Chains A and B, each alone.
Chain A
Amino acid sequence: MNEEDQYKNRIELLQGTLDMLILQTLQWGPQHGYGIVQALRLRSGDVLQVETGSLYPALHRLERQSWVQSEWKQSESKQRARYYRITAKGKKQLVSDLGRWERIVEAIGLVMYVKPEESES
Chain B
Amino acid sequence: MKWFPSFGFQRRKRELQEEVDAHLQMAIADRVARGETAETARQAAAREFGNIPLVQDVTRDMWGQAWLEQLGRDVRYALRQLRKSPGFSITATAMLAVAICANSTVFSWIDGTMLRPIPGARDTGDLVSLQRGERNFSPTPPFSYLDYRDLREQNHTFAGILAYHHDWITLTGGAQPERAYIANVSANYFDVLGIKPVLGRFFLAEEETRPDAVPNVVLGYSLWKTRYAEDPAIVGKSIEIARHPVTVIGVAPEGVVGAMPGIREDLWVTLDPLGTDVWRMTHRDADWLNVIGRLRPGVSLGTAAQDLDTLMHHIVAAYPDQHLGDNRITLDPMWRSPFGANGYMAATLPILLAFAAVVLLLTCANVATLTLVRFVSRRRELAIRQSLGANRIQLMRQMVLEGVVLSIVAGAVALVLTSWTSKTFAWFFPANSNPLILNGSMDHKVVIGIAVSSLLVGMLCGALPAWRSSHAPAVEVLKAESASISGGSRNRKLLSGLVVAQIALSLPLLLCSGLFLRTLRNLAGANPGFEQDHILTASVGLNIAGYSHDEEQVIRHKILDRVSALPGVKVASLTDWIPMTLGQKKEDAYPEGYAPRPHESLKVLHAEVSPRYFESLHIPILEGREFTPDDDEKAPRVLIVDQTAARRYWPGQDPLGKELRVWGSLFTVVGVVRNSTHTFVNESPEPMVYMSFFQAGYETMVQVKTEGNPVDLAPAVQNAIHEVDTRLPVFDVRSMRENTQIASSFAVIQSTLAGMFALIGLVLAITGIYGVVAYRTQLRTHEIGVRMALGASRVDVLRLVLLQGLWLTGIGLALGLAFALGLTRIIVRLLYGIGANDPITVVSVVMLLGAMSLAACYLPAHRAMRRNPVTAIREL
Binding site for B on A (CB under 8 A): 2-5, 7-8, 11, 32-35, 38, 51-53, 56-57, 60-61, 64, 75, 77, 79-82
Q: For B23, give the chain A residue with the smallest CB separation.
A: A34
* A3 CA to B389 CA, complexed, in Å: 6
A7–B26 touching, CB < 8 Å: no
B49–A60 touching, CB < 8 Å: no
Prevailing SS type, chain A contact patch = helix
B63–A56 touching, CB < 8 Å: no
Q: How many A-B residue pairs have CB under 8 A?
A: 78
* A86 CA to B51 CA, complexed, in Å: 28
Contact with A along B44-62 (1 / 0, CB 8 A): 0000011100111111011
- Given contacts A52-B55, A53-B51, are A79 and B26 in contact (CB under 8 A)? yes
Chain A residues with CB under 8 A of B58 = 4, 7-8, 11, 53, 56-57
Query: Would you give the shortest CB distance from A85 to chain B, in whole angstroms?
Result: 15
Query: Would you give the shortest CB distance from A95 to chain B, in whole angstroms?
Result: 23
B63–A52 touching, CB < 8 Å: no
A64–B23 touching, CB < 8 Å: no
B25–A79 touching, CB < 8 Å: yes
Choice from B15, B30, B50 contacting A52 with Cβ under 8 Å? B50
Chain B residues with CB under 8 A of A5 = 391
Prevailing SS type, chain B contact patch = helix
Q: Can you sample 10 A-B contacts with CB below 8 Å?
A: A2-B389, A3-B389, A7-B54, A32-B23, A34-B27, A53-B50, A56-B20, A57-B55, A79-B26, A79-B29
- Given contacts A52-B23, A79-B29, A81-B22, are A60 and B59 in contact (CB under 8 A)? yes
Chain A residues with CB under 8 A of B63 = 60, 64
Chain B residues with CB under 8 A of A4 = 54, 57-58, 389, 391
Choice from A2, A33, A52 contacting B391 with Cβ under 8 Å? A2
- Given contacts A57-B58, A60-B63, are A2 and B386 in contact (CB under 8 A)? yes
How many B residues have CB within 8 A of the partner chain? 29
A80–B22 touching, CB < 8 Å: yes
Chain A residues with CB under 8 A of B391 = 2, 4-5
Chain A residues with CB under 8 A of B27 = 34
- Please provide the 5 A-B residue pairs with the shortest distance between their CB atoms, ordered closest to farther: A60-B62, A81-B22, A34-B26, A56-B59, A61-B62
Interface check B387, CB cutoff 8 A: yes
Chain A residues with CB under 8 A of B64 = 64
Chain B residues with CB under 8 A of A33 = 19, 22-23
B51–A57 touching, CB < 8 Å: no
* A3 CA to B125 CA, complexed, in Å: 59
Query: Would you give the shortest CB distance from B402 to chain A, in whole angstroms?
Result: 23
* A2 CA to B62 CA, complexed, in Å: 20
* A7 CA to B61 CA, complexed, in Å: 13
A81–B59 touching, CB < 8 Å: no
Contact with A along B684-704 (1 / 0, CB 8 A): 000000000000000000000
* A71 CA to B54 CA, complexed, in Å: 24
* A77 CA to B29 CA, complexed, in Å: 9
Query: Would you give the shortest CB distance from B151 to chain A, in whole angstroms?
Result: 68
Chain B residues with CB under 8 A of A56 = 16, 19-20, 55-56, 58-59
Known: A11-B58, A32-B26, A81-B26. 6 other contacts (CB 8 A): A2-B391, A3-B389, A34-B23, A51-B50, A57-B61, A82-B18
Chain B residues with CB under 8 A of A34 = 22-23, 26-27
Chain B residues with CB under 8 A of A38 = 30
Chain A residues with CB under 8 A of B25 = 79
Chain A residues with CB under 8 A of B18 = 80, 82
Interface hub of A5, A8, A35, A60 (most chain B Cβ within 10 A): A60
Chain B residues with CB under 8 A of A32 = 19, 22-23, 26
* CB-contacts of B53-92 with A (<8 A): 54-59, 61-64
